[in-house]
Chain A
């Protein structure tokens, strides 16, 4: 059992609040991704779970035990660092064996477990080498092996893929996901890459300015962002955020009434931010009653789809459509959001 509970944690640094009353529960065996722009506090939170930082206020418990003041080595965690932090003076074998030896595991067992971990990470050939003799991808594997070999209750990863080149990152992303599903430990994974967050995590916590804005499954974070920031931070392209006027059961957007599910807390007549994904807007050449006229600005063929940037009244909209849609700049087209695809993201002035 290694459920992680972060309760009302506050951390201040001179001039900034790194964590502003953060509460988060990470379930046993869950893969939790902490996502946010740099400086949002995600790494601070991770380092606090690891024990490298102490909260100014609040409690961190792992597996039901209060760990707030327990040193890192006694938390039953293992961490994979962004720089990998392999020990340059030790061979790969001794790097992986380091933690086991610190925990006074018997020599034969060290040998067996290191061999197993090396096998799992496909680095058995490199056990006699020094880290400086390995490529970036190989170092990354050693770093993961060094963490896995401890069979920790919690694995913490701080942007582990950010130092790899694009192709390798793609491979390692899938491999890490498969691996962590196999070993079944609680994982906390910090990244600023929203694609990683979407593709790897069971749940994603989106952070900004030391606060957690939303914790949901990747699909929910993508489909039902809680506010304008989350909507625009996640997805390529980011969600369209348009300004409209709230009606009784609909919203008025550039003079068109669009049905939207009623939500508490909004008064008719209020200006609101409406989110809609580029792929949730149907674009046609033919006029229809429920469609809005828009003018094409930019046409970007992206291989799998066509990305259009359009002007809808006074607002800019991005729409993804099929590549066989014949269109050129300055064309007039008609836009129709799919039913149920509009999201209320808050009052317009709140953005």
Chain B
């Protein structure tokens, strides 16, 4: 009961700003300036959203954000899962050190990575491209993907793999047919995290791009010079994809089957 109450409180606490932003974004523009201010819906209007979406450059930036997020998810899973598998299954020299380093990468301020990368990307002609932002976002999310996927793989009993191998698969086949299907939940969480991290990342996206920036970077850079309705609509637009993503990942996050016999 206490746990339930706490859960409700925390949820309310987290949802309150989202609700207020959504309320302001979806109300008529005039409602934002009403006084006294009301915190329940008085009328539905898409005029704020419309003005935001039709604002010059918003739609292309939204598209770029999705592309950057997509590339980040694919790259960090593609690179992170094999590394996580190695950490989980093999007792190789330097494994503990690797895990320690991976954790500590998160402690390095982004600015320290961003400036040298900026120089490198200019040399490689990647400056001001979607790919450059996606690469940096991959670098940011990769340590977490490795650690998370390792903790997911380690929970799949090694005997399952051996059973598959005794029945005719190679190790790679066993991973594809047995380990991955039983890791969907955790890998979905890793993908989710990578996407949301990429979506919310502003600093690197601002540094590495000029014209082809992502939506959050664009909104943030224009925030101080934007009218209030634009800010609320932008805020909603920034939170929405994360919610949609979580909504679709939800079945995997609360997947029905459990790994391993009780």
Contact flag A72-B259 (CB < 8 Å), given A83-B159, A85-B160, A89-B182: no
Alpha-carbon separation in the docked complex, A72 to B164 (Å): 9
Q: Is the CB–CB distance between B162 and A78 below 8 Å?
A: no
Per-residue CB contact flags for chain A residues 61-95 toward chain B (1 = under 8 Å, else 0) read 00000000001111001110111111111000000
**B167-A78 in contact (CB<8A):** yes
A166 interfacial contact with B, CB 8 Å? no
In the complex, the answer to whether A78 meets B166 with C-beta atoms within 8 Å is yes
Chain B 176-228 residues near chain A, CB threshold 8 A: 177-178, 181-182
Of the candidates B157, B159, B164, B261, which one forms a contact with A98 in the assembled complex, judged by CB atoms under 8 Å apart? B164
Verify if B13 is at the interface (C-beta below 8 Å from A): no
Q: Report the minimal beta-carbon distance from B179 to chain A, rounded to whole angstroms.
A: 10
Scoring B residues 145 to 164 as 1 if CB is less than 8 Å from chain A, else 0, what string do you get?
A: 00000000000010110111
Report the bound CA distance from A72 to B173 in whole Å. Answer: 13
Answer whether residue B43 sits at the interface, using C-beta atoms and an 8 A cutoff. no
Given known pairs A99-B167, A99-B168, A102-B169, the reply for A88 and B182 (CB within 8 Å) is: yes
Chain B contact residues, majority secondary structure: loop
B258 contacts A73, C-beta separation under 8 Å = no
- Closest B-chain residue to A78, C-beta based? B166
Are the C-beta atoms of B160 and A87 separated by less than 8 Å? yes
Cβ contacts B54-75/A at 8 Å (1 or 0 each): 0000000000000000000000
Kindly report which residue of chain B lies nearest to residue A143, judged by CB atoms: B163
| CB atoms of A89 and B181 under 8 A apart | yes
Chain A's interface size range is 20 to 34
Measured between beta carbons, the chain A residues less than 8 angstroms from B163 are 79, 81, 85-87, 146
Among B162, B163, B257, B260, chain A packs the most CB atoms within 10 A around the CB of: B163
Counting CB contacts under 8 A, is B170 at the interface? yes
The answer, yes or no, to whether A52 is at the interface (CB within 8 Å) is: yes
Bound-complex Cα distance A299 to B182 (A): 55
A130 at the B interface (CB under 8 A) = yes
Contact of A132 among B157, B178, B258 (CB under 8 A): B258
B154 to chain A, nearest CB (A): 15
A199-B131 Cα distance, complex, nearest whole Å: 67
Q: For the complex, is B165 an interface residue (Cβ under 8 Å from A)?
A: yes
Collect the chain A residues with CB atoms within 8 Å of residue B262's CB. Answer: 132
Q: By the criterion CB–CB under 8 Å, are B182 and A73 in contact?
A: no
Q: Tell me which of B157, B159, B160, B166 contacts A72 (CB under 8 A).
A: B166
Of the candidates B168, B177, B260, the one whose C-beta lies within 8 Å of that of A88 is: B260
A84 to B170, CA, bound (A): 20
By a CB distance below 8 angstroms, the chain A residues around B157 are: 83, 85
16 contacts between A and B (CB under 8 A): A72-B165, A73-B169, A78-B166, A79-B163, A83-B157, A83-B159, A85-B157, A85-B162, A87-B163, A88-B257, A89-B178, A98-B167, A102-B169, A102-B173, A132-B257, A136-B261
